């Protein structure tokens, strides 16, 4: 789409024109991508952030020096003037001035809405409590392997607006519940919810309201890809819509099946590739691969190219990442497991018991759902962070537990507990923000501590 077509689309779908006054709330990576887009399309905007010096403050002042910028606190005046609000995903819509503006009739839009209005190329939208970054990355590799120039981003990597490019033939966007709760015009060509388990319960009232936000990804009339093993997701199927399914339990759709003593990834009765040829471990990664194959098939990608891409995919950093084998003990970094469901999936992927390092900020989730799998799969648990005591109380002595003040100390404790042939797994089941900048920093600290141990 050219600029004229985009302007027309923005006006038709979001009532944006030269008279609009847009307030961008939050000047992180997403907020800055919105500022660049609005400037490019000659739309009037101001930026506000409660931090004294937000991450992209200097970049904004350098690139767009005439932009009104309010920092240090949320000032009422720009909210009163705005016709449209673009609220970054990291900021709750329950923020007092945001709520007042919306209730007074200010239109809430999002960077994903702006993105959806600005392209006529197919968009594959992916969400879920776990696995969405893995599936998004798999699909990006598949598209490019099939000679379909594919761009991936959204909640993973680049903000959606930074992906826009006339050369791109297929967009794959990962979307969080916070992004989905503020969309209004997304009609993805193909969409999936990979799974639903309790996450971000500090921002959502309950699992039902969390699932309802996720379900917004199916707005419109595109193809639905559904997890046949997840009751909440399966119930979202709509008879009037074309759909595909994937399962590691049932023998239909994209599934797992044993043929001549080997497990195969299948499409209905068609063998696609051997399970053993996947370079990533765990049954949850088989489900991710099946989901990616279903999405790629819906997009018309070549099957052989998709399977070749899966064979070459080595997994994401901080997601079931093997770090080292020291004296027969394998150390695995799953720092990206920031919720209970991700930790449960990681533990279930092991046949033998593991030494689990967990803890951090549980974000209001119900820790009890983690306990049965800890009892089944953990030899012992090393706990750290804000909710260590909460997790310890829930474990209630069912497996031995130890406390650490830092990742480094947790690694040192785990090293004294592990014997040859065992696995030490960092899979926190919690966010990292109580102790670290993000899950990447937490994972990097774990890697550094393990390497120090090896030395």
- Cβ 331 vs Cβ 323: under 8 Å: yes
Hey, what long-range contacts does 133-137 have (CB within 8 A, 24 or more apart)? Answer: 133/174, 133/316, 133/319, 133/336, 134/280, 134/285, 134/288, 134/315, 134/316, 134/319, 135/192, 135/194, 135/288, 135/291, 135/292, 135/295, 136/172, 136/173, 136/174, 137/313, 137/316
Helices 283-298 and 340-348, interaxial angle, to 10°? 110
Residues whose CB is less than 8 angstroms from the CB of residue 342 and which lie 6 or more positions away in sequence, other chains included:
129, 130, 334, 336, 427, 429
Per-residue tokens: 164: 């826009």
Find the catalytic residue in 84, 132, 216, 377.
132
Residues whose CB is less than 8 angstroms from the CB of residue 360 and which lie 6 or more positions away in sequence, other chains included:
338, 384, 385, 386, 387, 428, 429, 430, 431, 432, 433, 434, 435, 442
> Tokens 């699932």 map to which residue?
211
Find the catalytic residue in 200, 204, 216, 336.
200
Report the side by side order of strands in the sheet with 45-49.
Answer: 69-71, 45-49, 22-25, 84-87, 107-109
Nearest of 138, 137, 152 to residue 254 by alpha carbon: 138
Find the catalytic residue in 36, 130, 144, 155.
155
CA end-to-end span of the chain: 55
Known catalytic residue at 200: yes
CA distance 206 to 82: 31
CA distance 114 to 116: 6
Phi/psi of residue 180, each to 5°?
A: -70, -30
- Cβ 33 vs Cβ 40: under 8 Å: no
Which residues belong to the active site?
A: 132, 155, 200
């Amino acid at each position: 789409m050219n600029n004229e077509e985009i302007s027309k689309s923005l006006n038709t779908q979001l009532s944006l024109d030269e008279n609009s006054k847009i307030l961008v709330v939050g000047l992180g990576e997403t907020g800055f991508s919105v500022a660049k887009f609005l400037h490019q399309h000659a739309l009037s905007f101001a930026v506000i952030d409660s931090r004294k010096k937000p991450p992209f403050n200097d970049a904004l002042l350098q690139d767009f020096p005439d932009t009104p910028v309010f920092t240090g606190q949320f000032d009422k005046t720009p909210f009163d003037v705005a016709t449209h609000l673009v609220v970054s995903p990291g900021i709750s819509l329950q923020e007092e001035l945001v709520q007042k503006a919306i209730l007074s009739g200010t239109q809430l839009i999002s960077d994903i809405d702006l993105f959806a209005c600005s392209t006529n190329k197919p968009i594959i939208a992916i969400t879920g409590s776990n696995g969405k970054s893995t599936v998004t990355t798999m699909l990006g590799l598949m598209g490019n392997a099939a000679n379909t120039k594919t761009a991936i981003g959204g909640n993973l990597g680049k903000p959606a607006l930074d992906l826009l490019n006339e050369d791109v033939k297929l967009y794959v966007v990962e979307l969080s519940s916070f992004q989905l709760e503020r969309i209004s015009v997304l009609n993805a060509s193909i969409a999936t919810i990979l799974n639903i388990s309790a996450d971000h319960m500090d921002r959502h009232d309950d699992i039902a309201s969390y699932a309802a936000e996720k379900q917004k990804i199916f707005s419109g009339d595109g193809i639905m890809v559904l997890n046949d093993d997840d009751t909440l997701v399966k119930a979202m199927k709509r008879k009037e819509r074309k759909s595909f399914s994937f399962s590691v339990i049932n023998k239909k759709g994209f599934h797992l099946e044993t043929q001549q003593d080997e497990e195969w990834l299948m499409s209905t009765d068609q063998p696609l590739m051997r399970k053993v040829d996947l370079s990533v471990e765990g049954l949850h990664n088989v489900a991710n691969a099946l989901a990616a194959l279903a999405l790629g098939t819906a997009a018309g990608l070549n099957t052989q190219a998709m399977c070749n891409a899966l064979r070459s995919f080595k997994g994401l950093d901080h997601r079931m990442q093997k770090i080292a084998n020291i004296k027969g003990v394998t150390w695995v970094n799953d720092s990206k497991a920031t919720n209970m469901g991700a930790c449960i999936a990681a533990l279930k992927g092991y046949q033998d018991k593991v030494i689990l390092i967990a803890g951090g900020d549980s974000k209001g989730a119900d820790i009890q759902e983690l306990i049965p799998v800890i009892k089944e799969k953990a030899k012992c648990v090393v706990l750290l962070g804000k909710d260590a005591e909460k997790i310890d109380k829930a474990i209630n002595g069912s497996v031995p537990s130890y406390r650490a003040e830092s990742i480094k100390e947790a690694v040192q404790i785990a090293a004294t507990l592990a014997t040859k042939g065992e696995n030490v797994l960092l899979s926190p089941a919690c966010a990292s923000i109580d102790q670290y900048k993000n899950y990447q920093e937490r994972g990097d600290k774990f890697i550094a501590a393990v390497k120090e141990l090896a030395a």
